Chains A and B, each alone.
Chain A
Amino acid sequence: MPSSTPGLAIAGLRKAFGAVAAVDGVDLEVPGGQTIALLGPNGAGKSTTIDLVLGLAEPDAGTIEVFGRPPRAACDAGIVGAMLQTGGLLRELTVRELLSVMGSMYPRAIGVDEVVELAAIGELVDRRTHQLSGGETQRVRFALALVSDPDLLVLDEPTVAMDVNARHGFWTAMRGFASRGKTVLFATHYLDEADAWADRIVMLARGRIVADGSASEIGALVGSKVVRATLREAELDALRALPGVAAVARHGDTVELTCTDSDAALRALLAAEPEACDLEVRSAGIEAAFLALTGDVEPTADPEPVT
């Protein structure tokens, strides 16, 4: 692959289901070798984006190229491997038989033994697939995603069925594969996973990219606090300009400031608006950060109080 060809190039991507725009104008370029997390709440459009990248759905508009090829051609060439969000394994086969038959379809598959080592599933190879637990099934599905030796590995919320130990083992295996110079795109709604295992985080909400940056940049944003105050006749633009404030929203007489530095914001707020009362500081949490970034005012869940 020439290094100038991005691992994944998405331009003007749109996909609607009925009146609902699941993906609403996404542009994204992922350089080869990067591990990128798609972070977003349920319904943000992560899975739809992934289905489009894999050619499992046709976009209404926009283009997708995987190392310069359309998704279907990329799948046929074996340069994309994927672990879909849901799914079981073909029954009545052993793990080894399953990996072997799937590998046989590809031009340059990795040998079964190497896949088994990469995915760390040595103890599972001779078991029949329907005898595996949920977490074991996930690990075998991960191995299946690797058999074609893909240049782009796509993982859609891969750790959902795993416990804490299994998660760590899984991500370590992912990193081992990525270290071969592979491009990895994974979807998650856990900030800590994105923060710990991605080079770059793209936040999706309502089908749009609302933030795109390094893990530490996004972590600071999502780890932000919300200052809430009763304040009549507030100028939202003036509040937004206060130090430490990332976003501002108003419901009735209440304003909510999503802050990257809530201490600075609070001091500045009280200095600028002495009328402000009923002050509250809460940790924003990922949901609130999304809402702030998308300009929505009504949180779907109560933010956790700061202790």
Chain B
Amino acid sequence: MVAYARSEVLRTFRNTRFLVFSLVFPLVLFVIIAGPNRHEDILGVPIPLYFMGGMTAFGSMMAVVSSGGRIAAERQIGWNRQLRLTPLRPGTYLATKVLCGYLLAGLTIVLVGAVGIALGVRLSVGEWAATIGLVLVGLAPFAAFGVAAGHLVSVDSLGPLMGGVTSILALLGGAWGPIASRGALLTVSKATPSYWLTAASRTGLRGAGWPLQGWLVVAVWTVAMTALATWAYRRDTGRI
């Protein structure tokens, strides 16, 4: 099934719409916000470092969720039925979709990081590794959400849905900037997977990984979203 995975990667990188949202958009935003203020601080943190984290979180989140768009588009043209006539296993199909999302996310992480370095961000190798590793883990619930949405929603409604959900989650999670330092809003914020994804991508500035709460929140969301994706997939294909 290497050829199948290869063709999926090819399609992912040929689809300009998804590339724009998950790559170009966060990069441009990062440069616009952090570029002119690269010597300024926000909350005592250099602005490039702070927004590098936010844009990494937002861009990589968009990248893995975008697999849902590809699933919905394939459902719309009946391609899922065509694939069911082949020996391709559902597990391979879904794994390939998730893998492509992660590849796109990886590219986002690398490019945002490169822009960060160009704007003066300096992290140790250990900090880079910890940041990237935690971000990849933190993307898991979003990858599952993308699969679920792809099987539940039509391709026309999917754009607004994913745009809306990811923007709200990015906002609540603090990817755009600090949303709350205490109180109920912080409690809500800390219950979102995007808060911990953003925290992961700012490992470099906090100097530490997730506390237990972070691991728990991400694990619970991953399990819940995977269950939703499994249900959505079965409902959609009529498989048992």
Q: How large is the interface on B (under 10, 10 to 19, 20 to 34, 35 or more residues)?
A: 20 to 34
Interface residue ranges of B1-28 to A (CB < 8 Å): 1, 3-4, 6-7, 10-11, 14-15
Interface residues contributed by chain A, number (CB under 8 Å): 31
Q: Given the interface contacts A57-B238, A101-B4, does A88 sit within 8 Å of B81 by beta carbon?
A: no
Nearest to B6 among chain A residues (CB) is A101
Interface class of chain B by DSSP: helix
Q: Are A87 and B77 in contact (CB under 8 A)?
A: yes
With contacts A80-B85, A105-B87 taken as known, whether A100 is within 8 angstroms of B79 at the C-beta atoms is no
> Is B77 touching A89 in the complex (CB atoms < 8 A)?
yes
Name the residue of chain B whose CB is nearest to the CB of A101.
Answer: B7
Asked if A87 contacts B81 (CB within 8 A), the reply is yes
A76 within 8 Å of B (CB atoms): yes
Residues of chain B lying within 8 A (CB to CB) of residue A88 = 76-79
Q: What is the bound-complex CA distance between A251 and B6, given in angstroms? A: 64
Q: Which residues of chain A have C-beta atoms less than 8 A from B86's C-beta?
A: 75, 102, 105-106, 148
Give Cα A100–Cα B7 distance, bound, in whole angstroms.
10
Contact B88 A84 (CB under 8 A): no
- Docked CA distance A90–B10 (Å): 12
Contact of B10 among A56, A84, A87, A93 (CB under 8 A): A93
B82 at the interface (CB under 8 A from A): yes
A87 to B79 CA separation, bound complex (whole angstroms):
7
Contacts of A76-102 to chain B: CB distance below 8 A? 76-78, 80-82, 84, 86-93, 97-98, 100-102
Q: How far in angstroms is the closest Cβ of chain B from A179?
A: 23
Given contacts A90-B74, A93-B10, contact A84 B1 (CB under 8 A): no
Contact B82 A93, beta carbon cutoff 8 Å:
no
Whether a CB of chain A sits under 8 angstroms from the CB of B84 is yes
Asked if B186 is an interface residue, CB under 8 A from chain A, the answer is no
**A positions within 8 Å CB-CB of B:** 54-58, 75-78, 80-82, 84, 86-93, 97-98, 100-102, 104-106, 144, 148
Q: What would 14 A/B residue contacts be, using CB atoms closer than 8 Å?
A: A56-B81, A56-B84, A75-B84, A76-B87, A81-B85, A84-B81, A84-B82, A88-B76, A92-B10, A104-B3, A104-B4, A105-B86, A106-B86, A148-B86
